[in-house]
Amino acid sequence: MRIHTAPMTDCQLYLISPLDVSGDFPGRLERAIEAQAGLVTAFQFRVKNVDQHEATALAEPLQAICAARDVAFIVNDDVALAKRLKADGVHLGQGDGDPEDARDELGRGAQIGVTCHASKHLAMEAGEAGADYVAFGSFFDSDTKPSTHRPETDLLEWWSKLFEIPCVAIGGITPENCLPLVRAGADFLAVSGAIWANDEAAAVKAFAREIRAA
């Protein structure tokens, strides 16, 4: 399964999980994906301070939901967990390893994304190392993952004009502030708090309206 362009628009949603994915979260994920057909095309499993056994148990129902709906299931930071789960890919921060090493571990078909903050140089390095997408941010203040990096929208414009590798905008993105990012060329909006802190289906539909307006 690959992160792909959906028919409805050139920009899709890349959902990032909250740290707590227990309880009724699988049902919430289903509702979010199904709220707008074709808009959610990737989901990142992001949990902290749990061992591989517990992480696997938490991931399995979410991975099944994604597989049944053609949504790429991406593991945050942990190549070993991604390999154990046979996930669709892994997302690497700057301190989480090299994309080439991750490719060796996960295989040619794996989707490998790299956080590049606000740096053209890091993004080009990631592309040269074989990343399948690059992520820029944080564009806005974020409670999910605070960051001092603040790229401008012209970074998205520059990347999308010069490179074929998809770019992901991340950090504090909401339906109210996403329009400039979409217009600047973001292929994906990575969103977490704006979805899970609210009614997830309504939030996805609100993003869909704004993306169409772009």
Question: CA of 112: how far to CAs of 21, 24, 102, 127, 189, in Å?
Answer: 22, 29, 8, 10, 16
What pLDDT is attached to residue 150? 85
Q: What residue type is assigned to position 195 of the chain? A: I
How is domain 12-213 classified at the architecture level of CATH?
A: Alpha-Beta Barrel (3.20)
Question: Could you tell me the two tokens for 190?
Answer: 């990575």
> Could you tell me the residue ranges of all domains in the chain?
12-213
Q: What is the pLDDT of residues 153-186, one digit of tens each?
A: 999 999 999 999 999 999 999 999 999 999 999 9
Q: What is the pLDDT of residues 36-53, one digit of tens each?
A: 999 999 999 999 999 999
Whether the model clears a pTM of 0.75, i.e. scores above it, the answer is yes
Phi, psi at 152, each rounded to 5°: -100, 165
